[in-house]
Structure 1
Amino acid sequence: MGDGSPLDARELRAWTGYQRMSSALLARLHQGLHQDAGLSWADYEVLFALQASPGGRLRALDLRCALGWEKSRLSHQIRRMAQRGLLCREPNPADARSAVVCLLDKGRCAVERATPEYTARLRAEFLDLLTPRQLDTLAEISETVLAHLARGEEDLADLPDRE
């Protein structure tokens, strides 16, 4: 863990720049998804993950882990999306204690319609502004931070429950 000292000017510039860029970019991309396809970001994440899975089906646990979501968040999201006919939840034939989330035709059409516009916005607002070297550096930074955070989650998983 860091030493807790105040951020210097370079650190502050990097951190505040990252925060402002991230917030503004995500807001722009989310707004575009809503305008172009009538999907929220959460809708798109779920549909995209299901579309990429074999047969458009994933165990709810695998979907939750892929998205990095809490169980209750995924459960509420699935319920709302099922009500709109985008996906369904079925008992898992291999394990009656779990469920499988299945992409329906309406959901497949929605994600297929949304993806080209989303990708075009992502390129125009972010990727095309960076050089190949900057993209590689960004990927390295992301991988470093994510690996560190994953180690921290493993450490937390080893702690006994305190309920």
Structure 2
Amino acid sequence: MRWLDEQEKAAWTGLISLVLLLPGKLESPLRQEHGLTLFEYLVLSHLSEAPERRLRMGELAFLASGSLSRLSNVVKRCEQRGWIVRRPDPADGRYTLAELTGAGFDIVRLAAPTHLRAVRSIVLDSLDTTDQKALARVAERLRIVPDDFSRQPSRGTPRDE
């Protein structure tokens, strides 16, 4: 077995601290000010940016970096709050669309400045342009995709609820 050298150990401990601590720091202001989890915000935000504010569930899960199971649970909670509606995809009824409602768009619009302030203060303001490009490059290389859907979100599997 080859142990980590100092450079590898620094890279690993830096990454694991980001993975474990960063989501909570980004979620805290969203919870306090808007009662949203970070994942809920990401789901609503991606829908707000989609054409006609709707996406297939599989594509939405891919964009929000979550499993279909987790997304389904979050969408159910958002439906109960009146923020999202689900319906069969008229182009192919085997798929389910999630669509942002007016109330859902309102909550995203209210929460976006809170999220943006956290992203800037916790992440981006500490990095120069070179660091930001390096972070994006490393994140793309290390991108983890949940096992229950492919890297091709537009080619998701039927019954992607």
**TM-score normalised by structure 1 residue count:** 0.81
Question: Mind listing any 5+ residue stretches in structure 1 that lack a counterpart?
Answer: 155-163
- More moved, 81-90 vs 125-134: 125-134
Distance 1:9 1:86, change over 3 A: same
Residue 94 of structure 2 aligns to a residue in which SS?
strand
CA distance in 2, matches of 1:97, 1:136: 39
Q: CA deviation at 1:135?
A: 1.5
User: Is 2:112 the partner of 1:112?
Assistant: no
Among 30, 51, 55, the residue aligned to 1:54: 51
**AA paired with 2:71?**
L
Q: Which residue identity is paired with 1:43?
A: E
- Report matched runs for 1:30-109 at 5 Å: 30-109=27-106
Higher-Rg structure is 1
Moved over 6 A (4+): none
Judging changes above 3 Å, is the alpha-carbon distance between structure 1 residues 12 and 55 closer, same or farther for their aligned structure 2 residues? same
Percent of pairs identical after alignment? 33
Query: Could you say which residue in structure 2 is the equivalent of 1:157?
Result: none
**3-state SS of paired residue (1:100):** strand
Q: Report SS of the residue matched to 1:29.
A: helix
Q: Which has the higher contact order (CA 8 A, sep 6+)?
A: 2
Residue 122 (structure 1) aligned with residue 150 (structure 2): no
In proportion to residue count, which structure has more helix? 1
TM-score if structure 2 supplies the norm length? 0.82
Gaps of 5+ in 2: 151-161
Q: Spell out, residue by residue over 1:32-53, the C-alpha distance to the aligned partner (whole angstroms, 9 max, x if none).
A: 1111221111211110110010
1:63 Cα deviation after fit: 1.5
Shift of 1:108: 0.5
